[in-house]
């Protein structure tokens, strides 16, 4: 039987929500092993004037505990 743990991770990108998500998973994988999935819980943007300056995501990352 597997035991899974969930952590919350926040990330941002100047390109897109997809890039912010990929960045979050890549950085989390440096200290958390056996990542099985990531759920985008929330998305937001930082706006300046009439332009989007930054894309932000809040993820729930699930990994297997050995």
Q: What whole-number distance in Å separates Cα of residue 34 and Cα of residue 30?
A: 11
> How big is the CA angle at 5 (ends 24 and 35), to the nearest 5 degrees?
45
pLDDT of the chain, 66 residues: tens digit per residue: 899 999 999 999 999 999 999 999 999 999 999 999 999 999 999 999 999 999 999 999 999 998
> How big is the CA angle at 49 (ends 45 and 58), to the nearest 5 degrees?
10
Give pTM, 2 decimals. Answer: 0.87
In the chain, what are the domains? Answer: 3-65 (3.30.1660.10)
Residue 13 CB burial class (10 angstroms; 0-12, 13-18, ≥19): middle
Query: With the C-alpha atoms ordered 1, 37, 23, 54, is the resulting torsion angle positive or negative?
Result: negative
């Amino acid at each position: 039987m597997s035991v899974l743990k969930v952590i919350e991770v926040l990330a941002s990108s100047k390109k897109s929500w997809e890039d912010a998500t990929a960045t979050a998973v890549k950085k989390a994988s440096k200290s958390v092993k056996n990542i099985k999935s990531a759920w985008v819980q929330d998305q937001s943007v930082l706006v300046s004037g009439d332009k989007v300056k930054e894309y932000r995501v809040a993820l729930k990352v699930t990994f297997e505990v050995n």
